[in-house]
Each structure stands twice: as C-alpha cells, then as structure tokens.
Chains A and B, each alone.
Chain A
C-alpha cells in the first residue's frame, strides 16, 4: 500500500529565512503533486512533477522530484507571511494519496 510521509508536520519560520519540506513515498510513482491549502479553503495546485529530476519554480517556492529516492522537496526561499498555509504532497499509484500536510507559519 502506498504511504506518503511529509516532514516536518509543523513549521514556524521567520520572514526572510529559507527552509525545505520533505515528502517521501513508499512505492514507485512518476507523478507527484504539491498543493497549498488555506484554513477553511480547498486545495490550490502548486506543482505537477512528472519525471525523475523534474524541478519547477514559482516565486519563492521550488519543487523537485527524485523518483529513485522516492523523495520530493519543496524549498521555500526568503519566506514571507503570505506563504503561511498548509502544504500537501500527493503521489499517484492507483489513486492519489496525500501526505498529512505541513502547517507552515511565517512570522515577521
């Protein structure tokens, strides 16, 4: 059974700092997704990673995928308060399985 693990589950960081969120998964997959969720809201698609070595960047967020290590990372550069949200990775096997989410708080 596909398992998806994210860490950390909670992250409090200062504005201007950098940090990385990790997503490990247990079975072979070549599609990984990152989503953002604000409190009480639905999921907003951030990145779709479709192949080994894929790297995508949007603003202060950069995501990468290593299918051999079954690992994806979401790197945050020079965090700002607006990035405060919960971030989920999700992996496709027969269906899409989500990690438990990383609740990010960016403090001034």
Chain B
C-alpha cells in the first residue's frame, strides 16, 4: 500500500508567478485535503476534494484553486504569488470521511521571493 506522495518537495518562485503542486492520494482513499503551514504555526485548511468535487473551503482567496482527478490525485494551484504564500503545503488523503484518520504527505516547501 503506497502512502501520500507530493511533488515537488521544494520550490522557489518569484512574487506574481503561478505554481502548481501535486498530490497522489493513498490507495483506497477518495478524499484529499490541502493545508498551508507557515513556520511555527499549525496547518490551516485550504480546501478538500471528494470524488472530484470541492467539498469545503477554508479562508483562502480565490487565487488558491484545486482539482481532483478520477484516480483521486489532486493539484493545488496558486496564482499571483505573494511573499506570505511562503509555507509548507501539506496534502492529506482519507477514506470513510476520515474515520480512520488522515494520511499526510511529506509536503512541498514553497518559498516566494
């Protein structure tokens, strides 16, 4: 059974650019959630996808968008990058509405300069 994989692991972008982060969910999981974790803080919920539909969204602007594919993998897109977008972006997959827990990927460290 494979876990959650995220790519890339590290990324440096310039303010104003766009970025796409990728996540492959754990086998058997149909729900993917994305989180932003700034240094020294707890993860903040961005949004969740369930069976290719957005299933909840946190307090993030529309320039944060996402997709889920038929194989349940997912993308997080961020447009018009700002310096404050620098963070660790975590993807988590789950099944059965999280009753068995969420499995987190190793994250993508995004630095905006």
Question: How far does the alpha carbon of A4 sit from the alpha carbon of B107 in the complex, in Å?
Answer: 23
- Is there an interface contact between A43 and B43, defined as CB atoms closer than 8 Å? yes
- Interface contact B90-A100, CB-CB below 8 Å: no
Expressed in whole angstroms, the Cα–Cα distance for A98 and B44 within the complex equals: 7
**Which residues of chain A from 66 to 104 have a CB within 8 Å of any chain B CB?**
88, 90, 92, 94-101
**Which of A44, A95, A99 counts the most B-chain CB atoms under 10 A from its CB?**
A95
Interface of A is mostly: strand
**Chain A interfacial residues counted at CB < 8 A:** 21
Chain B residues in 8 Å Cβ range of A33 = 98, 101-102
A42 pairs with B101, CB closer than 8 A: no
Q: Looking across the interface, which residue of chain B has its beta carbon closest to that of A88?
A: B42
- Give chain A's interface residues, CB within 8 Å of chain B: 31, 33, 35, 41-45, 48, 50, 88, 90, 92, 94-101
What are 13 of the A-B contact pairs (CB < 8 Å)? A31-B98, A33-B98, A42-B104, A43-B90, A45-B104, A48-B101, A50-B99, A90-B43, A95-B48, A95-B58, A100-B41, A101-B41, A101-B42
